[in-house]
Amino acid sequence: MSDAQVQAPTERSSTIPVGVLAERSEEKLRIEWSDGHTSVYEFAYLRAHCPCQGCSEGEGQSPSVSDGDVGVAAVSMVGSSALLIAYDDGHDGGIYTFQFLRSICPCGDHEAEAT
Ligand SMILES: [Zn+2]
Ligand SMILES: [Zn+2]
């Protein structure tokens, strides 16, 4: 019998989500963060910010960005620090770390946080 205690990380990071909800009827992804902030991303916005290699290399050409009307087919966790988002236009390579998602939060309240 071991009394060893594992200390939970007490890091007060704002990039830990406590809730992730894809609201398909509204075409939005909602993330609630451990600091109480809630981010709401339109699917089209996430699609436009896809961090995968194919999209980020498409400078100027944006070959695979569709015209706004994009849905999310599936959202799944990648480890404990990222989401894999698959779109219904067949694109499924985007791995969005929570740090990245937080950095693109569209609410407009984060300008003061920029370094
Ligand atoms: Zn992509
Ligand atoms: Zn925000």
Ligand 1: distance of its center to the CA of 84 in Å? 11
Q: Looking at the CA of 14, which ligand is closest?
A: 2
Does residue 88 sit within a domain? yes
Does residue 32 sit within a domain? yes
Does residue 2 sit within a domain? no
Q: List, for residues 79-110, the tens digit of each pLDDT value.
A: 989 999 999 999 998 999 999 999 999 998 88
Ligand 1: distance of its center to the CA of 3 in Å? 47
Q: How far is CA 113 from the centre of its chain?
A: 18
The token duo for 70 is 């994009």
Amino acid of residue 87: Y
Strand, helix or coil at 90? Answer: coil
Average pLDDT of the segment spanning 8-21: 75
Does residue 7 sit within a domain? no
What is the CATH number for 50? 3.30.2020.30
Number of domains into which the chain is organized: 1
What is the four-CA torsion angle of 68, 69, 74, 76, rounded to 10 degrees? 20
Does residue 69 sit within a domain? yes
Instruction: Decide: 94 and 84 in contact? Cβ < 8 Å.
Output: yes
Does residue 84 sit within a domain? yes
What is the chain's Cα-based Rg? Answer: 16
Look up the pTM and report it.
0.77
Residue 85, domain extent = 17-107
